[in-house]
Amino acid sequence: MGKINIILKRELSSYFATPLAYVFIVIFLMLTSVFTFYLGNFFERRQADLLPFFDFHPWLYLFLIPAIAMRLWAEERKSGTLELLLTLPINLRDAVIGKFLAAWLFTGIALLFTFPVWMTVNYLGNPDNGIIVASYLGSWLMAGSFLAIGSCMSAVTNNQVIAFILTVVVCFLFVVAGSPMVLDFAHKLPQTIVDTIASFSFLTHFNAIKKGVLDIRDLVFFFVMIAAWLIATAVVIDMKKAN
């Protein structure tokens, strides 16, 4: 745990060492608000909830999270520091978890900085804050899953741009798996297959949490996703190392 902590701190501070983190945060905050107020018609709906705010999170994450995740391993590999990192007295597992946790915490910070929207809705009416807390948690878990996928994709290639594109593609598949366009298309397939496809959708699970209900199935799904993609990251790095 101590070693994971060391990596986490090193990685997290490296985020804030460059202007990239601040640019990311500004863009994230502005985009969430633009989407909420213009596409989601937050003010015109006149309902004191944050549905229009959270509705766009999966689509925002689809492009913003790969941007954070792409450098996780690809950069290390390209600059040759990966070998150095692996020769240090830490094992691969610690490195993978530490790097992931740092990125996840960073997205958590960005998410926390959206609190003005929460304050706004509390000023305008009396929202159900329980639902908002659940939605934030769901959003953060979903961000974690996006990051874990990104981590694996970043390990696959040493080109950050390719890592970005790969992450976007894989994440997109996981997002749309539960959307009507896929489910309508899969309508002719047996119900079990349709249900299975839908059960792998970030959207389905996030929407369920967004209602304000923390179902063990949704929580386990996101944790399984994170764990599985992190294991895959380790396996891929190990494979590459063997090469």
Partner 1 sequence: MTKRLFSSAGLIVLAAVVLIGVMLVNSLFKNLRVDLTEDNLYTLSDGTRNMLTNLQEPVTLTFYFTNKASEDLPFWRTYAKRVRELLEEYEELANGKLTLNVIDPEPFSEEEDQASEAGLQAVPVNLGGTELYFGLVAKGQAKESAEESITFFQPDRENFLEYDISKVIFAASQTKKPKVALVAGLQVDGGYNMATRQPTDPWMAVSQLDQLFEVERLEDDTVEISDDFDLLVVIHPKELSDDMQFAIDQYVLRGGNTLIFVDPLAGQDTGGGMMMAMGPKSSNLEKLFKAWGVTMDSKKVVADSGYALSISQGSGKRPVRHLGILGLKQQAFNTEEVVMVELEQINMATAGAIKAIEGASTKMMPLIQSSTEAMLMDASKLAMMSDPKKLYDDFKPTGERYALAARIQGPAKTAFPDGRPEKKAEPADEKSAPAATTESPLDNSESADTEAVMEETGEEDTVEQTPPPVGSEQVKPESTEAAEVIDEENTTTVENAAASSVTAEASEQEEPKKPLLAPVSESKQDINVVVVADTDMLADMLWVSVRTFFGQRIAQPFANNGAFFINAVDNMVGNADLISIRSRGQFSRPFTVVDEIERKAEDKFRVKEQELLQKLNETESKLAELQQQKQGDDKLSLSPEQQKEIEQFQKDKLAIRKELRDVQHKLGQDIEALGENIKLLNIFLLPLLLTILLVISRTVVNKRQYAMA
Interacting residues with partner 1 between 190 and 219 (CB under 8 A): 196, 199-200, 211-217
Q: How far apart are the first and last CA of the chain?
A: 29
Q: Looking at 23-31, 93-101, 143-151, 164-172, which segment touches partner 1 (CB under 8 A)?
A: 23-31
**Binding of partner 1 at residue 180 (CB under 8 A)?**
no
- Taking CB under 8 A as the binding criterion, the range among 91-99, 160-168, 178-186, 220-228 that sits at the site for partner 1 is 220-228
| Alpha carbon distance 56, 78 (integer Å) | 33
- Taking a C-beta distance cutoff of 8 angstroms, is the pair 105, 11 a contact? no
Write the CB contacts of 50 (distance below 8 Å, at least 6 apart in sequence).
36, 117, 118, 121, 127, 131, 132, 135
* Structure tokens that stand for 139 in this block: 């959003």
Binding mask 102-131 for partner 1 (x = CB under 8 A): -----------x--xx--x--xxxxxxxxx
How many C-beta atoms surround the C-beta of residue 199 within 10 A? 13
How does DSSP classify residue 189?
S
- Binding region for partner 1 (CB under 8 A) out of 2-10, 91-99, 181-189, 230-238: 230-238
Interface residues with partner 1 (CB under 8 A) are 16, 22, 25-26, 29-30, 33-34, 36-37, 41, 43-49, 51, 113, 116-117, 120, 123-131, 133-134, 196, 199-200, 211-217, 220-221, 224-225, 228, 231-232, 235-236, 238-239, 242-243
